[in-house]
Amino acid sequence: MRAFGQTVRRALGAMALLGAAALPGLAQAQQAPANTLDAIRARGALICGVNTGLAGFAQPDSQGVWRGFDIDYCRSIAAAIFGDASKVRYVPTTAQSRFTALQSGEVDVLFRNTTWTLSRDTSLGLDFPAVNFYDGQGFMVKRTAGVSSASQLNGATICVQPGTTTEQNLTDWARANRIQFTPVVIERLEEVVAAYVAGRCDAYTTDASGLAATRSAQPTPADHVILPEVISKEPLGPAVRQGDARFADIVRWSHFAMLVAEELNITAATADQALASDQRPEALRLLGKTGDLGKMLGLDNAWALHVIKAVGNYGEVFARHLAPIGLQRARSPNAMYTQGGLQYAPPFR
Amino acid sequence: MSQTSIDPRSLRAPPKRPIKLSWADERIRGIFWQVVVVGIVVSIVWWLWSNTVHNLEVRRIATGFGFLNREAGLPIAESIIDYNPTNTYLRALIVGLLNTLKVAVVGIILATIFGTLIGIARLSKNWVLRTLSATYVEVIRDLPLLLQLLFWYAILQGLPGPRQAMHPAEGVFLSNRGLKLPWIEWEGAHSLALLAFVVGLVVTFLYRRQAVAKQITDGVPRHTWPVALVALVAVPLAAWAALGAPFTPDIPALRGFNFQGGLTLSPEYFALLAGLVMYTAGFVAEIVRAGIQAVPNGQREAAQALGLRPGAVLRLVVLPQALRVIVPPMTSQYLNITKNSSLAVAIGYQDIVSIANTTLNQTGQAIEGIAIIMLVYLTISLSISGFMNWYNARIALVER
């Protein structure tokens, strides 16, 4: 027994010494990488934080392959960095876990229906490089309720998910319009939708895109009505960690590349042909035939070509994923600025 | 011998030696290793702390508890105290804490009653009762609690909507919006009457204790009920009447989307309470059964031979001995109810975890939010085990 006790004591002493020696080194060990681009290259894959399952934005299909608007954006970043859109790992995050996942370095970028707000931009240590979808919060009710306007919701029970801007917008709107309501606050999307469908709530509120996705997933979408009122501004876009401007630039300009491609009418199918025969100077710079725009971003000069070939231009991505769930692009803020919308990219030069 | 008694311990203690500052001295070695162990613990805690602070700074994430005074803006469905979204995060968290206590306290009381009944039923001579309660225990204990909560919530959501609500009695409505009951407009007089009732409980308890103590000395039995009647009924009624005897019934009625007025038992609260009580009662039943079976049969037979009635046998002989076996594991079950109530977040009951989660998400201050949750559960749990340990010491077998 005595010999064993001594061994234990020696081991403890050795550990204490080791601990003291290792302290300064360990203090650096748990940080998220300061240079995200290098970390992604060394890993060989982009890690993208996405929704746990929202039709049109991010959802695994019957083969388990992730598909959606946000997924295509993840693929576009991988294409810009590696020239290969498949080098992405998806990490599903809940509304509550998403920021911690990004802050701790578990994911490189969030494409997860995240609203850009001042407090998130500052106190969460995040940066919002771009807005890829202009959304607004709305209400959905059952057709049988006979409600045609949100102002008729006084006294209603309203289903809402916690930990989002949705909750705060709802209370702001109710206060401004002197509307009394009872909230039912449930964390998981599936559960909150189930509560609404079961009749626990008179209305369900979230971003209009989320309402459209939920409505399209119902057995009879026509039984549900999305009310005309939009009670908030919800600029949705990617989020990255603050303090890594280079990676933020890549995310920002990949989105702009998709916008400019639409402006120039270059699609996934016509990109190779455009590279061969297009003579417009901005198209040549975008596709990397002239200039060094890619190098300035720390990427290959053909980065935008890879993005366009992998996912297409903004209009194509929108039409592929968001039009099927019933979201209109024409006359919405998501139309190109030339069509009266807000989607606008700075010049590629 | 008795005049010159010596503390026997002093004979066994080793003779006092002067402390030598040498490795050969066992005491010096002991002190050295204690310092080393404490040093390791302190440096690990310090490292975790400084590492966290450093990383938060690097990532420009806000720290501190300043957010508690900011406007919360989060809606809360049910609250014991007045709350609206313009209140601060601090008040929202207090509402959450009260909601947790509301389900934990009621849950503990109901699970104890229900579990005890089932535990006694398991020992019944009636075959049907015995088999039914045994089946209940085996089934309920084997299913995960979260699953049971979702099951209860789904059942309650399957109730008809407010317009087709079940209406078994005047002012009582059962729908998927919950159970609505008639209530009264609560005023100061009611609070005073409630206070008088609580004071009455204490008075009755103290009187009964004294009455029993006197009966032991003089053998005269004294009735408690006249004192109880005065303290629990007459005084509260007088307090209520003194303030003008206000009584305005508040009957729920369907107006617009929902029922207005009355008392509401929400489906979320009911599902959580039912799930927690049913689940924990399965464990309590086994503890109670074990406690009763731990009392030797001879004790019961001896009590019967003394001519005690069956009720008195249970109350005076079996239960006091059974409680000694029952109370320690019961403490764990009470702690489990409290901690399991955090599953509320899955079915939309806004307890402390739900509200603190929302708070930490809106403010981004995860560490502070988690610290608050841990502090709350630690405080509740330590209070429960402190009380139960006191009770356990009180009923423990008095040994010399």
Task: Provide the domain count of chain A.
Answer: 2
The verdict on a CB contact (< 8 Å) between A167 and B358 is yes
Is residue A325 assigned to a domain? yes
Task: Tell me: do A240 and A318 sit in the same domain.
Answer: yes
State the complex-level ipTM: 0.74
The verdict on a CB contact (< 8 Å) between B36 and A13 is yes
Q: Which of A198, A232, A266 is the last residue of a domain?
A: A232
Q: How many CB atoms lie within 10 A of CB B180?
A: 26
Task: Tell me: do A245 and A227 sit in the same domain.
Answer: no
Is residue A16 assigned to a domain? no
DSSP A57: T
SS (H, E, C) chain B: CCCCCCCHHHHHCCCCCCCCCCCCCHHHHHHHHHHHHHHHHHHHHHHHHHHHHHHHHHCCCCCCCHHHHCECCCCCCCCCCCCCCCCEHHHHHHHHHHHHHHHHHHHHHHHHHHHHHHHHHHCCCCHHHHHHHHHHHHHHHHCCHHHHHHHHHHHHHCCCCHHHCEEEECCEEEECCEEEECEECCCHHHHHHHHHHHHHHHHHHHHHHHHHHHHHHHCCCCCCHHHHHHHHHHHHHHHHHHCCCCCCEECCEEECCEEECCEEECHHHHHHHHHHHHHHHHHHHHHHHHHHHCCCHHHHHHHHHCCCCHHHHHHHHHHHHHHHHHHHHHHHHHHHHHHHHHHHHHHCCCCHHHHHHHHHHHHCCHHHHHHHHHHHHHHHHHHHHHHHHHHHHHHCCCCC
Task: Tell me: do A194 and A271 sit in the same domain.
Answer: no
Task: Tell me: do A172 and A313 sit in the same domain.
Answer: no
Is residue A199 assigned to a domain? yes
Please give the residue range of the domain that contains residue A168.
137-232
The verdict on a CB contact (< 8 Å) between A103 and B61 is yes
Task: Tell me: do A247 and A265 sit in the same domain.
Answer: yes
- The answer to whether residue A114 neighbours chain B at the CB level (below 8 Å) is no
Task: Tell me: do A78 and A144 sit in the same domain.
Answer: no
Task: Tell me: do A78 and A227 sit in the same domain.
Answer: no
Is residue A24 assigned to a domain? no
With residue A79 as reference, give the H or E element that holds it: helix A69-82
Q: How near does any CA of chain A get to the CA of B371, in Å?
A: 15
Is residue A159 assigned to a domain? yes
Q: What is the pLDDT along chain A (349 residues), one digit of tens a residue?
A: 445 555 555 554 544 444 444 444 444 444 566 789 999 999 999 999 999 888 899 999 999 999 999 999 999 999 999 999 999 999 999 877 888 899 889 999 999 989 999 988 988 889 999 999 999 999 999 999 889 999 999 989 999 988 778 888 999 999 999 998 989 998 888 889 999 999 999 999 999 988 998 998 899 999 999 999 999 999 999 999 998 999 999 999 999 999 999 999 999 999 999 999 999 999 999 999 999 999 999 999 999 999 999 999 999 999 999 999 888 898 899 999 999 999 999 999 8
Task: Tell me: do A178 and A221 sit in the same domain.
Answer: yes
Is residue A285 assigned to a domain? yes
DSSP A31: P
Is residue A5 assigned to a domain? no
The verdict on a CB contact (< 8 Å) between A171 and B268 is no
Q: Which of A168, A201, A232 is the last residue of a domain?
A: A232
Q: Which of A232, A249, A272 is the last residue of a domain?
A: A232
Task: Tell me: do A240 and A332 sit in the same domain.
Answer: yes
What pLDDT, in 10s, does the model give residues B257-287?
A: 878 777 888 999 999 999 999 999 999 999 9
CATH number, position A305: 3.40.190.10
Residue of B nearest to A5 (CA): B33
- The answer to whether residue A23 neighbours chain B at the CB level (below 8 Å) is yes
Which pLDDT does position B7 carry in this prediction? 58
Task: Tell me: do A182 and A222 sit in the same domain.
Answer: yes
Is residue A8 assigned to a domain? no
Closest in A124, A125, A202 to B257, CB measured: A202
- Structure tokens, A273: 């042909």
Provide the mean pLDDT of chain B: 88
- Residue among B95, B98, B89 at smallest CA distance from B380: B98
* Cα-only R_g, chain B: 28
Tokens 């803006």 correspond to what residue? B73
Q: How near does any CA of chain A get to the CA of B77, in Å?
A: 5
User: What strands lie across the sheet with A224-226, from one edge to the other?
Assistant: A182-185, A157-160, A203-207, A137-142, A224-226
Contact (CB, 8 A) for B205 and B170: no
Task: Tell me: do A77 and A199 sit in the same domain.
Answer: no
Task: Tell me: do A254 and A334 sit in the same domain.
Answer: yes
Residues 6 or more apart whose Cβ sits within 8 Å of residue B140: B148, B278, B279, B281, B282
